Amino acid sequence: MRALNQSLSVAIRYSVHFTEDLFAPDNLRLRKVVGHGRRHLNRLLCVVDRGACTHRADLPARIQNYCVRHRDVLDLVCAPILVPGGERVKSTPTYVARIQEAVHRHGLCRHSYILAIGGGAVLDMTGFAAATAHRGIRLVRIPTTVLSQNDVAVGVKNSVNAFNKKNFLGTFAPPYAVVNDSTFLETLSDRDWRAGTSEAVKVSLVRDPVFFRFLEHNAQAIAGRSMNAMAYLIRRCAQLHMEHMAEGNDPFETGSSRPLDFGHWAAHKLEQLTRFRLRHGEAVAIGVALDSTYSMRIGLLSETDWRRILGLLSQLGFQLRVPRRFQRLHGRDNPDSLEHGLTEFREHLGGELTILLLKGIGSGIEVHQIDDRILAESIAILDRAQ
Amino acid sequence: MRALNQSLSVAIRYSVHFTEDLFAPDNLRLRKVVGHGRRHLNRLLCVVDRGACTHRADLPARIQNYCVRHRDVLDLVCAPILVPGGERVKSTPTYVARIQEAVHRHGLCRHSYILAIGGGAVLDMTGFAAATAHRGIRLVRIPTTVLSQNDVAVGVKNSVNAFNKKNFLGTFAPPYAVVNDSTFLETLSDRDWRAGTSEAVKVSLVRDPVFFRFLEHNAQAIAGRSMNAMAYLIRRCAQLHMEHMAEGNDPFETGSSRPLDFGHWAAHKLEQLTRFRLRHGEAVAIGVALDSTYSMRIGLLSETDWRRILGLLSQLGFQLRVPRRFQRLHGRDNPDSLEHGLTEFREHLGGELTILLLKGIGSGIEVHQIDDRILAESIAILDRAQ
């Protein structure tokens, strides 16, 4: 009997909004995003990163007040659920279960909303809970860190960790909307402010030399906490990520190629090896520096461009050495070894190992082999370069 | 600052194949589906419904032998994982965890395959595990019952139960491929053979009066286990389900409308109230009969058509009465009451209650209100009709 062939197309649309002081009672942005202009009550559940409350203890109360003020449109079904920030929230299954239990208890439906307010880890974890309850409750991401505003929040992925593997469980699920509130950035520690900028360097290296020059010219202003420079960095970085997804024609990553993950095989592994004492952005800075060095070492990238890349990352305040105790390689099959990250990267994406290297600033090329000896040399070169 | 707008399109393609004796060593179907003609080793994990092994205890061994015979293409990473069939496998989280643990332990990647061999519950549960590990491992559904061949396997959904709610957790994720093997149907009990046919009646009522007439003309042959008649029933039912998905332009069900769920609000609730002693297909037969009766009672459906519908379902062997102890209604807020199914149905889909009723055979109409008094009368009419 002949086979039956199915061919479907799923349209995905969402917007990334920019505002200041989102929960000021007269800021209409959230009201508009959720209510899309209609006077109709919408049920909301709210998950808040404790990290976002460190310098603004009144955040949960302000969210509640905002919903009371706009109670003709926003029906907050219970007090905001507070969860820890950082990888811990992705590694402990109880947080996902707690959100799903609240969806059940308050009878949220697929047309209800979950607001995820926090850094990348909280957005990832909440997104996984939202995507799987009723096969998907509308998720409004409200990222509160540089990294989550310019990168995590604009994508179509969510995840939690399992079996000691980062992002082992997750789904592809676009957000209903993203709202970037620059006010959250004011109270970030210098470390968190800086950590998010390495993804901007990365995306500029892969896609946009003009943006790289902007970052070079503004590195000091960014490091000195200029909100104007940071606002442009975030917007442009988010835009480049979104354009890449739309152009790539493979938003759900059925292939093995992932050029936006430049430097990430090492970054993911370094986060894990340091038990997340390195922030994701800090690990990305090292990963980008390492793969740039490898690109230079095999003659793909000019030494001038390599120096510019390392210079920019240093000016932004990053430490670029691979931590000493992970500099020695022990083989791709050894999970305690940095280069096991190549094994994990291939395993996660599937198929052939596919790594992006640089031919120049703004221009990448995919390779399918990494030479461990040259990798070891690149680690040593990077160690001496700083 | 202006918002950034994202617009993406995700293409979904898969085929539903038909074969006999899939694991006969010289049947090339599975080899072709997984290997798509290339000589390249593909890693497989296999999950098998114990129910499918009842009358063929050698099924796991045959699967292993098949993979050994085709070892240039198929690399079965471990012995088939046996799981119980039926709702229990969806209500016990350990089964999902066990599959994900196997994915981790054997280092499967997103280009590896999980074969799910079994009835609808096993396909749903395995599909959820496959869709969330690495954000989606390729799932080949090999349905072994009438219901799973003509309905469950061809769709883009998976799910497990949680908080005592059917399908509370799940994702939208298309299969990589579906392979229907008619040999599995030969050893089904009469009860399971019959149970799958109610979904065919349902889809004919909603979409295709010609198919309804086919079912009327062949009801006795189908009830008498004619494999030819059943083969056509399955193929046409699967095709109608697939066409509906492709036409609806909303495969991931962002709206509130779900016409293929005709009769399902009561069916889901009856399954749950009887603790799944009613099979899904048996409950669907009652749900279809009940909503047809309601349609007739409010003057939407002619009495002639109503009698044809009840006649066909009876001829196929279905019992159509709402079980006596659930005939009395206790209000929509009472979870022990049949009509709480309307509350759960609305909650699951979200938005306004949307129920399909019938104007005629092959022609539905959506309504947004169900009158509880008329519903009670319809239950009584149905009780007397048999």
**A153 and A236 share one domain:** no
Q: Does B33 touch chain A (CB under 8 A)?
A: no
Nearest CA in chain A to B167: A134
- Domain housing A371: 190-244+256-385
**Residue contact B348–A163, C-beta within 8 A:** no
**B326 and B198 share one domain:** yes
Residue type, A343: T
How big is the A-B interface in CB pairs under 8 Å?
A: 194
Q: Does B97 touch chain A (CB under 8 A)?
A: no
CATH number of domain containing A334 = 1.20.1090.10
**B235 and B295 share one domain:** yes
Of B165, B186, B207, the one marking the end of a domain is B186
In this structure, the strands spanning B165-172 and B157-162 are antiparallel
**A231 and A211 share one domain:** yes
In this structure, the strands spanning B138-143 and B113-118 are parallel
Residue-wise pLDDT for A38-77, tens only, equals 778 899 999 999 999 998 999 999 999 999 999 999 999 9
**B341 and B200 share one domain:** yes
Confidence of residue A135 (pLDDT cuts 50, 70, 90): very high
**Residue contact A131–B171, C-beta within 8 A:** yes
Q: Does A42 touch chain B (CB under 8 A)?
A: no
Contact present, B329 and B372 (Cβ < 8 Å): yes
What residues of chain B, 299 to 318, have a C-beta less than 8 Å from chain A? none
Instruction: Give the burial string for B222-261 (b: 16+ CB within 10 Å, else e).
Output: bbeeeeebbbbbbbbbbbbbbebbeeeeebbbbebbbbbb
CATH number of domain containing A139 = 3.40.50.1970
Helices (H) and strands (E) in chain B, counts: 17, 11
Is residue A249 domain-resident?
A: no
Is residue A9 domain-resident?
A: no
**A32 and A141 share one domain:** yes
**Residue contact A12–B9, C-beta within 8 A:** yes
Of B186, B216, B237, the one marking the end of a domain is B186
Q: What is the pLDDT of residue B246?
A: 86
Q: What is the pLDDT of residue A74?
A: 96
Contact present, B194 and B223 (Cβ < 8 Å): yes
Contact present, A95 and A89 (Cβ < 8 Å): yes
Is residue A311 domain-resident?
A: yes
Q: Does B93 touch chain A (CB under 8 A)?
A: no
Is residue A199 domain-resident?
A: yes
Q: How far apart are CA B79 and CA B195, in angstroms?
A: 31
Q: What is the pLDDT of residue B248?
A: 73
**A207 and A167 share one domain:** no
Work out the mean pLDDT of chain A and round it to a whole number: 94
Q: What is the pLDDT of residue A338?
A: 95
**A142 and A205 share one domain:** no
**Residue contact A3–B12, C-beta within 8 A:** no
Q: Does A333 touch chain B (CB under 8 A)?
A: no
CB atoms within 10 A of CB B350: 21
Q: How far apart are CA A89 and CA A94, in angstroms?
A: 9
User: Would you say the pTM of this structure is higher than 0.90?
Assistant: yes
**Residue contact B100–A348, C-beta within 8 A:** no
Residue type, A30: L
Domains of chain B: total: 2
Of A186, A201, A236, the one marking the end of a domain is A186
Query: SS3 of A349, please?
Result: helix
| Nearest CB to A4 within list B16, B252, B350 | B16
Q: Please give chain B's pLDDT, 386 residues, in tens.
A: 899 999 988 889 999 999 999 999 999 999 999 987 677 889 999 999 999 999 899 999 999 999 999 999 999 999 999 999 998 999 999 999 999 999 999 999 999 999 999 999 999 999 999 999 999 999 999 999 999 999 999 999 999 999 988 899 999 999 999 999 999 999 999 999 999 999 999 999 999 999 999 999 999 999 999 999 999 999 999 999 999 888 876 777 777 677 788 999 999 999 999 998 999 999 999 999 999 999 999 999 999 999 999 999 999 999 999 999 999 988 888 989 999 999 988 877 777 899 999 999 999 999 999 999 999 999 999 999 97
The closest of A87, A95, A91 to A48, measured between CA atoms, is A95
Q: How far apart are CA A233 and CA B308, in angstroms?
A: 67
**A130 and A237 share one domain:** no
Q: How far apart are CA B153 and CA B120, in angstroms?
A: 7
List phi, psi (to 5°) of B13: -135, 135
**A116 and A232 share one domain:** no
The nearest CA of chain B is from the CA of A172 a distance in Å of 7
Residue-wise pLDDT for A250-309, tens only, equals 777 777 677 788 999 999 999 999 998 999 999 999 999 999 999 999 999 999 999 999
**B236 and B356 share one domain:** yes
Is residue A227 domain-resident?
A: yes
Query: SS3 of B355, please?
Result: strand
Is residue A203 domain-resident?
A: yes
Is residue A4 domain-resident?
A: no
Residue-wise pLDDT for B280-302, tens only, equals 999 999 999 999 999 999 999 99
**B39 and B74 share one domain:** yes
Is residue B10 domain-resident?
A: no
